[in-house]
């Protein structure tokens, strides 16, 4: 029904819109990038879809236009390093008009803004390149302000050039401290900035259109997203969970490639050599020289890192928590085929001593809520799914390992299949509602576990962290509401919204697509791509993920915004004020619906305070806990810093001091576990690594077993 309604809306608009885009003001001195007719029409339809089918039920207005403008400018120049104050003043003419322009498919304003940005960007790089060979005094006590996000826009080019001259000096100091010769550093930095210019010259109108639509849709809500044809293909490959590479999701932050997520089961995950937050500054193949990728387009960097399975790639990284001036670490990985739906839940059995008694704890790590729906629909009786895998693991833990308790590790589990979240919950409860879903009309549907019996009725715990989201929150919330187990960790992400993926091409008849192709081909800015089953001239329109519903726990509370609060709360290494749904200005609010008709398995109200008390007593004596708290405080302190010294000796001394303190802390913790001290540069063996959260969760489970008895 929805598809039919959308088809009518979309087709009618395309038939009605035959006008070319509005003439765009040109920026002198650069090749101007312009939108094409296809993008104009897609923009109109995104407005229509959002206004008619987004859960927020909003209409674009001047207020939203203002927010879009601010988000767009910030996306282009987050640290105020390129635009001048006069540029920003000129852009004010668009503050209350973008809503009307987008509704009409007029993209001239944001494309003009981008072209101004492009001119400023290249001007600053030209200046930087021209001054890399200048003579710098690295013993001066001057500073470089690297984070200008909250500072005023620069008034003139002279002041902007002064900022960039300090940036050049800072980057040269970083290279000096890393230990390479000054002449080589000048060459490296020159190539870095030339690469930035080269990547900038490769931008096309699809890149600009994606940036514009990101600012637009993210202003509506964090999970309504448009994907241009190239990005739509990448998104669908991710959803299919099959690609060849190192198994890491990457993002670009301040011109540096950063590890955004380590995919469980991939080479990066198995090697233990990469962590979320690590920055990749160089790439090389099995043989050959490293290429400095700072400032590259993310697609270009990813293309260097990806490759056929069985081949080797070498990465030069700055580990998370280290300054960019730190000496980079070189690692080598063998690429593999990452088949996400084939990633399985895994088990491990550990024994812990508590009050002089041993307890065997089975730990099941679930990387995602996966299911091979294609095999299931084809009738394959052995199709892959989270629930089926976990059921087999539980059976082994019960009959062969004879564990005293089971812990489900959902840390960094961003979700997946809703059906699997419901079925997995059913392994621990005997029938009953698991989650409630409210659509944009306000209708509430209760999804239940309809399978009788349980796979495990013994002591149960769940580990979560700030990156546990969506289906993970449905599962852990249901376990908590039913009194079925103890939740340990940090407050979860808080993603309680449901998105529907809409392929815009499927909403348009082939004949209409051909008419659209004729429009696109009239201009020099065509961005159309061929699609399967249609003539080669037919353009792709991309797709939109539209927020159309919300999740609620069986107790009536939304998982949106608040997520799930653990029973035993641990400090979060991930900054709570920067990661999570409650940090998104456009996120839907938390609310409640009526409690569903469920019967709790147990009432743990009385036992939880005692568990918290015992936990707190351990934390008072724990070096690992104190170390984690100190690490978090140090990270918060670094996050408040916006400038850095340009005195090379001082900067090196600061870095050396941090390294000494870090090594002292590591050895103090190793000594507490009876391990030998390590020296600077030593690699810690895999079997000597210590998972503090896991260890404390096992102690909590031992307490839980004793208190229940």
**Could you tell me if residue 41 is inside a domain?**
yes
Query: Residue 688 half-sphere exposure, CB side, CA atoms within 13 Å?
Result: 16
CATH of the domain at 428: 3.90.226.10
**Helix/strand/coil for 98:** helix
Tokens of 137: 């005094």
Strand partners, 444: 438
CB 248 within 8 A of CB 274: yes
Using the predicted structure, report yes or no on whether residue 519 has a pLDDT greater than 90: no
- Residue 474 — pLDDT band, cuts 50, 70, 90? very high
Cα(616)–Cα(404) distance, integer angstroms: 23
**Could you tell me if residue 660 is inside a domain?**
yes
Q: Mark whether 329 and 354 lie in a shared domain.
A: no
Q: Mark whether 268 and 309 lie in a shared domain.
A: yes
DSSP secondary structure of 354-412: ETTEEEEEEEEE---B-B-HHHHHTT-TT--BHHHHHHHHHHHIIIII--SEEEEE-TT
pLDDT tens-digit map of 398-407? 999 999 999 9
List 44, 166, 495, 550, catalytic entry: 495
* Catalytic residue list contains 470: yes
638: containing domain: 616-708
Q: Mark whether 636 and 597 lie in a shared domain.
A: no
Residue 5, pLDDT score: 39
**Helix/strand/coil for 481:** helix
- Residue 10 — pLDDT band, cuts 50, 70, 90? very low
Cα(525)–Cα(38) distance, integer angstroms: 10
**Of the candidates 305, 285, 289, 308, the residue with the CA atom closest to the CA atom of residue 297:** 305
- Residue 709 burial by CB count (10 A; 0-12/13-18/19+): exposed, middle or buried? exposed
Strand partners, 435: 447
Q: Mark whether 275 and 404 lie in a shared domain.
A: no
More confident residue, 2 or 413: 413
Q: Mark whether 382 and 327 lie in a shared domain.
A: no
**Of the candidates 564, 544, 567, the residue with the CA atom closest to the CA atom of residue 554:** 564
Residue 527, pLDDT score: 41
pLDDT tens-digit map of 254-264? 778 999 988 87
Q: Mark whether 595 and 648 lie in a shared domain.
A: no
Q: Mark whether 284 and 380 lie in a shared domain.
A: no
**Could you tell me if residue 512 is inside a domain?**
no
Using the predicted structure, report yes or no on whether residue 241 has a pLDDT greater than 60: no
**Could you tell me if residue 351 is inside a domain?**
yes
Using the predicted structure, report yes or no on whether residue 311 has a pLDDT greater than 60: yes
**Could you tell me if residue 538 is inside a domain?**
no
- Residue 511 — pLDDT band, cuts 50, 70, 90? low
Question: SS3 letters for 466-478?
Answer: CCCCCHHHHHHHH
The number of folded domains in the chain is 4
Last residue of a domain, which of 557, 584, 604?
A: 604
Q: Mark whether 247 and 273 lie in a shared domain.
A: yes
Query: Residue 419 half-sphere exposure, CB side, CA atoms within 13 Å?
Result: 7
Per-chain mean pLDDT for the chain: 88
* Catalytic residue list contains 495: yes
Q: Mean pLDDT over residues 534-561, rounded?
A: 84
**Could you tell me if residue 536 is inside a domain?**
no
Q: Mean pLDDT over residues 460-485, rounded?
A: 97
Last residue of a domain, which of 312, 339, 366?
A: 339
- Residue 516 — pLDDT band, cuts 50, 70, 90? low
**Could you tell me if residue 24 is inside a domain?**
no
* Catalytic residue list contains 550: no
Residue 249, pLDDT score: 83
CB 395 within 8 A of CB 407: no
Cα(443)–Cα(12) distance, integer angstroms: 29
Last residue of a domain, which of 604, 630, 655?
A: 604
Residues 6+ apart with CB under 8 A from 399: none
More confident residue, 22 or 460: 460
Residue 339, pLDDT score: 59
DSSP element (H, E) containing 693: helix 692-708
Neighbours of 109 (CB within 10 A): 22
**Could you tell me if residue 23 is inside a domain?**
no
List 106, 389, 409, 481, catalytic entry: 481
- Prediction pTM value: 0.77
List 326, 468, 470, 557, catalytic entry: 470
Q: Mean pLDDT over residues 316-343, rounded?
A: 83
CATH of the domain at 299: 2.30.42.10
CB 556 within 8 A of CB 596: yes
Q: Mark whether 63 and 201 lie in a shared domain.
A: yes
Q: Mark whether 360 and 211 lie in a shared domain.
A: no
Tokens of 297: 């387009």
Q: Mark whether 58 and 205 lie in a shared domain.
A: yes
Q: Mean pLDDT over residues 461-479, rounded?
A: 96
Q: Mark whether 103 and 170 lie in a shared domain.
A: yes
pLDDT tens-digit map of 50-102? 999 999 989 999 999 999 999 999 999 999 999 999 999 999 999 999 999 99
């Amino acid at each position: 029904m929805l598809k039919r309604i959308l088809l009518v809306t979309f087709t009618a608009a395309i038939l009605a819109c035959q006008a070319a885009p509005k003439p765009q003001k040109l920026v002198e001195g650069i090749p101007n990038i312009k939108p094409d007719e296809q993008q104009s029409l897609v923009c109109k339809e995104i407005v229509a879809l959002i206004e008619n089918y987004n859960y927020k039920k909003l209409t674009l207005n001047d207020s939203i236009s203002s927010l879009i403008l601010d988000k767009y400018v910030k996306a282009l120049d987050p640290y105020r390093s390129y635009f001048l104050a006069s540029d920003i003043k000129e852009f004010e003419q668009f503050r209350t008009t973008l809503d009307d322009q987008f509704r009409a498919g007029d993209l001239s304003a944001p494309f003009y803004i981008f072209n101004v940005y492009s001119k400023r960007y290249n001007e600053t790089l030209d200046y930087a390149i021209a001054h890399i060979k200048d003579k710098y005094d690295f013993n001066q006590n001057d500073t470089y302000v690297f984070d200008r996000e909250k500072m005023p826009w620069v008034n003139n080019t002279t002041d902007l050039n002064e900022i960039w001259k300090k940036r050049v000096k800072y980057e040269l100091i970083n290279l000096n401290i890393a230990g390479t010769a000054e002449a080589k550093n000048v060459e490296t930095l020159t190539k870095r900035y030339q690469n930035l210019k080269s990547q900038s010259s490769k931008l096309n109108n699809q890149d600009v259109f994606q940036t514009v639509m990101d600012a637009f849709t993210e202003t509506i809500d964090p999970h309504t997203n448009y994907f241009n044809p190239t990005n739509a293909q990448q998104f669908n490959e991710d959803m299919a969970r099959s690609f060849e590479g190192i198994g890491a999701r990457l993002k670009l932050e301040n011109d540096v490639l950063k590890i955004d997520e380590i995919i469980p089961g991939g080479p990066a995950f198995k090697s233990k050599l990469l962590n979320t937050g690590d920055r990749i500054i160089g790439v090389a193949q099995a043989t050959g020289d490293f290429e400095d990728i700072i400032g590259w387009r993310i697609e270009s960097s990813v293309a260097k890192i990806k490759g056929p399975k069985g081949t080797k790639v070498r990465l030069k990284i700055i580990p998370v928590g280290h300054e960019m001036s730190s000496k980079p670490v070189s690692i080598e990985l063998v690429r593999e085929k990452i088949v996400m739906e084939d990633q399985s839940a895994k088990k491990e059995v550990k024994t812990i001593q508590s009050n002089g008694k041993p307890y065997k704890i089975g730990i099941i790590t679930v990387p995602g809520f996966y299911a091979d729906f294609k095999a299931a629909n084809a009738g394959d009786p052995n199709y892959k799914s989270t629930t089926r895998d976990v059921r087999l693991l539980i059976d082994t833990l019960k009959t062969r390992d004879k564990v005293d308790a089971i812990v489900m590790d959902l840390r960094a589990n961003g979700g997946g299949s809703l059906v699997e979240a419901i079925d997995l919950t059913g392994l621990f409860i005997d029938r009953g509602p698991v989650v409630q879903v409210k659509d944009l009309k306000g209708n509430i549907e209760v999804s239940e576990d309809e399978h009788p019996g349980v796979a495990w009725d013994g002591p149960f715990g769940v580990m979560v962290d700030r990156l546990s989201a969506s289906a993970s929150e449905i599962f852990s919330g249901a376990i908590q509401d039913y009194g079925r187990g103890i939740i340990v960790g940090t407050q979860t992400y808080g993603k309680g919204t449901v998105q529907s993926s809409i392929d815009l091409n499927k909403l348009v008849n082939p004949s209409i697509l051909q008419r659209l192709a004729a429009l696109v081909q009239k201009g020099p800015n065509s961005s159309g791509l061929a699609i399967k089953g249609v003539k080669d001239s037919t353009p792709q329109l991309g797709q939109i993920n539209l927020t159309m519903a919300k999740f609620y726990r069986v107790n009536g509370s939304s998982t949106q915004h608040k997520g799930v609060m653990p029973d035993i709360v641990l400090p979060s290494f991930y900054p709570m004020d920067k990661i999570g749904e409650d940090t998104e200005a456009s996120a839907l609010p938390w609310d409640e619906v009526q409690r569903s008709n469920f019967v709790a398995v147990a009432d743990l109200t009385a036992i939880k305070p005692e568990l918290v008390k015992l936990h707190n007593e351990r934390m008072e004596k724990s070096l690992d806990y104190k170390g984690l708290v100190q690490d978090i405080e140090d990270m918060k302190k670094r996050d408040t810093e916006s400038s850095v010294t340009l005195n090379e000796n001082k900067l090196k001394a600061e870095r050396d001091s941090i390294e000494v303190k870090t090594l002292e802390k590591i050895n103090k913790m190793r000594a507490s576990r009876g391990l030998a001290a390590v020296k600077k540069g030593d690699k810690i063996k895999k079997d000597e690594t210590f998972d503090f959260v896991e260890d404390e969760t096992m102690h909590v489970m031992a307490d839980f077993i004793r208190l229940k008895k």
